[in-house]
Structures are given as structure tokens and as C-alpha cells.
Amino acid sequence: MDLEPLLVAAREFRSGASAVRDFRFHASDVERLSLGVKDAHAGGPHAPLSIKQAAGVRYLLVWSDDRVSRGYLERSQVERQPMQALADALGAAYEDPDAARVLGPTTMPEVALYDAATAGMAQGDTTWLAARLAVIRERAVPGEIWTFSASFSFAHAYERIMTSAGLDASERSTSASWHVTLNGEAGTGHAARHAESGAEFDARLARLLETARELGRPATPSRGGALPVLLHPRVVEEYGLATLLWNLSGETVAHGEGRFRHDDFGCGRPFLREDLSLRVDPLQPLRSGSYRFTGEGVPASRSTFIERGCLVQPVLDLKYAHRLGRAPTGLPLASDCLFLEGPQPLPLPRALEQARGGVLVLGVLGVHTQDGASGDFSLAVPQALQIDENGFAGKVRGTISGNLFDGLQSERLTLVEFEGEHTPGWLIECRLDRS
């Protein structure tokens, strides 16, 4: 995409006393192949095999009166109507002095983000996709698996960021993701900047099939109450880490909406158990959450947010770093670059021994209705497996309730290793009410 018309317009635009003082343009050009599978039927009118291209620019404009405008422009607006696009942006200008910042030239780290084979898939090579879909069809044995749905996506992107202060950086990246759901309830998937190997895909699918079989038999009714509850890594990511990151967000901290106050960072008092730490490393090669620079032009960097239970720094973009008087941090764009670290995770078989009488929670509902600041939770559990002395003992449903921060401070919290998962599971004690 040609940015020159927009650059010229930004230099020449005038409307009364208003002119563009500073700008940041983050352009992206993405080519994507996608396919959906619904009830074992690939394609169809709602998710056909398709290759689409999309290009546009996210902008920040700082006007001569210090107001700012932010938004998104399609390729046609950039290349054919840049003056009109700026006039429309001026009409939506507002005051936000913390956002009125653009960065100058800087060195961006070298991070592996591009995989040639995945780029070929985004441009139409369906060999990998067809082979994996064939494996799913072969393994989805009638009588055990009555239906399955899936989605596949491969993308190839080029990004460039330019500012009025002289920053000009670019990157080329790829991404590959898939997700499969069996019998409408047991699901798994993977996302990275390259497609999984056949062996990794097969192993992940085999684990999912075993889970689907376990969910296919109801458990013998047993007691509820305070029980050992093993949260699958997906539940940890969807609820536990998401709630923790919301409380650590610079926006949440700056507005005083969460559990942590600005003065809590660096005070030396532990807010989590003292052997727990949380950090992000976006410099990991070919991971979904890896990057060279943010959409604001901040170079990727390793950042620690919690160390040995103590708050080190909030998660800060450029705007809230300025508001809180701190430096911007690395951003956790995906869970595969986020590290919750503590004692050595327990192997799953040993964790199941400790969780006898409890459940393995595979999914929850109601995450977005929870009180993130207090950590109190009450989550519907549509898929869980009862645990007894022989391992899994069938499917249960119910509701789990408790307090997230009490769990993260408890000596009973145990990290658990799940094969093929980056994030550890959590073995905690909370209330389970069966339904």
C-alpha cells in the first residue's frame, strides 16, 4: 500500500487554523486463507474456502491545537481521498494530552516472525490443510464422535509504521491457527506464526479424542462443596491470567478501577504468593504473541510485571506510560509469550492423585461478568471431568466459586504440566456446586 498520498496530505492539510502537527501511521497489508467446517461439512455459505486481502492504516493525528484524532482508514481512503479522510478525522478530534505522543527513530529488535511455508498457505497452498482435515475425518469414528466443527486460518502480513518524528520501521510476518470441536463440547487448537508439524497436530488431536470419550460418559453423582479443582490451561488463560492482566493494565491502574494502585508497584509487599512471578517475552521466535514493535512504534522488550509475589510495573502502552510517569513495557499479545512462573509444575498424573474427589474443569462460562477487582468469581462449568482413584470418572456440570486472589496467595495452589500446553494448569481448592 502506498502511504505517500497520506504523507503529502498530512503535510499540506489546512482547515482554518487547524493543521497536522504530528502523526503516526501504522499500515498493514494482510493476505489470509481461511476455511470453516460445520457439522463435518467443509466450506458452506458461511465459511467457504477463501483468500482475502485487506489493507489499511491506523492513525494518530496531533493537531496544532493539541487535540488528537485516532482511527482507521481503508486503502481507498489513503490512496484516493487522503484530504477528505483528514477532514473527517479533524471533525472527530478530542483532547487527550497523554495520547498526543509520537516516537522518533529507534532500533527495533530482530525477532523471527516469518515462515515461508506458512506464507505459501496464506497464498493458496492447501496441502497442509487438506492433510489435517483428512486426519480429523479419519479419527472422528462414528459412534464415538457424532459431529465435529473446525476452523483453519493462515495469514501473511506486511506492516510499516511511520511518524512525523522520523520513525520508519517495517516487518513481515505470518500466522497459522486452527481449532477443532468434537461433539459440540470438547475443543482444542493451536496458534503460532508457523503451522504445526504433522506429529504435533496428531498428538494434540489424540488428546482431544480421549477427552471427548471421557466426556461421553456421565459421572456417578457425588458430593459438592469445597473440593480440589484442577483448571485446564485454557481456563487459566481465559479467566485467571486475563483477570490478572486486567488488574495490571496501565489503564485500569491509572483510573483506579482494579485491585492494584499505582503506589503498590515497587512497594515490596507481596500481593501473590511469594514464589510466583509473571513476565512477558515477545522476543520468542515464531510465537503468536511475538512482535518487533507495537502499533505505537514501541520496540518489543522483555518485561516483568510480578516478581516473587511483588508488583514490579503495570502493563504499559505509550499513553499510560506517560500518564503514570513510567516507561512503556512489553505487551502480552498472546498467552504463548506470557510466563507465569513458580515451583516446578507437577506432572498431570501426580496432580490427578492430589485432586481425587475433585474435578478437572475444561471450560467455563460467564468470564466477562466477573468482578475483576475483587477477584470473586462464580463461573458456570459446562464441561468437567470427575477425578477418582482410577483417574477420570465421567462428565459433570456445575458452578465453581471462590476468590482468584485468595487462590494465588494460597499454599495449596499447585502449577500442573499439561502436555502440549504452554501455560500450566492450576490445582486450587474452591467451591463446586453440581447441577
pLDDT in tens, 63-72: 999 999 999 9
**Nearest-10 crossing angle of helices 127-139, 198-215:** 30
Query: What is the total count of domains within the chain?
Result: 2
* pLDDT over 90 (residue 223): no
Q: pLDDT band for 220, please (50, 70, 90 cuts).
A: confident
Domain membership of residue 89 as a residue range: 4-212
Does the CA dihedral 318-323-329-331 come out positive or negative? negative
Q: Do 153 and 266 belong to one domain? A: no
pLDDT of 44 above 90:
no
| Domain match, 184 and 244 both | no
Query: Mean pLDDT throughout 318-331?
Result: 97
The CATH number of whichever domain residue 147 belongs to comes to 3.30.2290.10
Q: Which three cell numbers stand for residue 181?
A: 470441536
Percent of residues, the chain, with pLDDT higher than 70: 100
Question: What confidence score (pLDDT) does residue 224 get?
Answer: 79
Q: How confident is the model at residue 241 (pLDDT cuts 50, 70, 90)?
A: very high
Q: How many Å separate Cα 244 from the centre of its chain? A: 13
31 shares its domain with 153: yes
CB 283 within 8 A of CB 290: yes
pTM of the model: 0.94
What is the reported pLDDT for 434? 87
Least confident of 219-223, 244-248, 284-288: 219-223
Residue pair 295/319 in contact (Cβ under 8 Å)? The answer is no
Same domain, 237 and 373: yes
Which tens digits make up the pLDDT trace of 164-174? 999 999 999 99
More confident position, 307 or 220: 307
Same domain, 178 and 230: no
Answer yes or no: do 237 and 206 share one domain.
no
**What is the pLDDT, as a whole number, of residue 408?**
97
- Rounded Cα distance between 59 and 162, Å, is 10
The answer to whether residues 223 and 197 belong to one domain is: no
pLDDT of residue 92: 97
| Angle, CA of 209, 212 and 213, to the nearest 5° | 90
| Residues 114-170 pLDDT 10s | 999 999 999 999 999 999 999 999 998 887 899 999 999 999 999 999 999 999 999
**End position of a domain, from candidates 212, 233, 265:** 212
d(CA 428, CA 403): 11
Q: Which of 178, 180, 190, 197 is nearest to 145 (CA)?
A: 180
Q: What is the pLDDT of residue 219?
A: 85
Mean pLDDT value across residues 382-403: 93
- Measured CA to CA in angstroms, residue 397 lies from 148, 360, 432 at distances of 21, 11, 9
Count, residues in the chain: 435
Q: Based on the domain organization, do 192 and 237 belong to the same domain? A: no
156, 186, 212: which is the final residue of a domain? 212
pLDDT at 368 over 90: yes
Set of cell numbers at residue 229: 479443582
Q: What is the mean pLDDT of residues 51-55?
A: 95
* 191 and 240 assigned to the same domain: no
Residues 157 and 266 in one domain: no
Provide the pLDDT for residue 390.
Answer: 85
Task: Please list, in sequence order, all residues whose beta carbon lies within 8 angstroms of the beta carbon of residue 330, skipping any fewer than 6 positions away.
Answer: 280, 281, 282, 300, 301, 302, 303
Examine the domain organization and report whether 71 and 196 are in the same domain: yes
pLDDT at 312: 98
C-alpha torsion sign, points 318, 323, 327, 329: negative
In the structure, what pLDDT confidence band is assigned to residue 45 with cuts at 50, 70 and 90? confident
Q: Name the grid cell of 290.
A: 511475538
- Residue 178 CB neighbours (<10 A): 23
Q: Which of 212, 233, 267 is the last residue of a domain?
A: 212
CA dist 406 and 82 (Å) reads: 53
Q: What is the pLDDT of residue 318?
A: 96
d(CA 354, CA 135): 35
pLDDT of residue 64: 96
Same domain, 234 and 189: no
The predicted model gives 420-433 an average pLDDT of 96
Please write the tens of the pLDDT for every residue from 68-120: 999 999 999 999 999 999 999 999 999 999 999 999 999 999 999 999 999 99
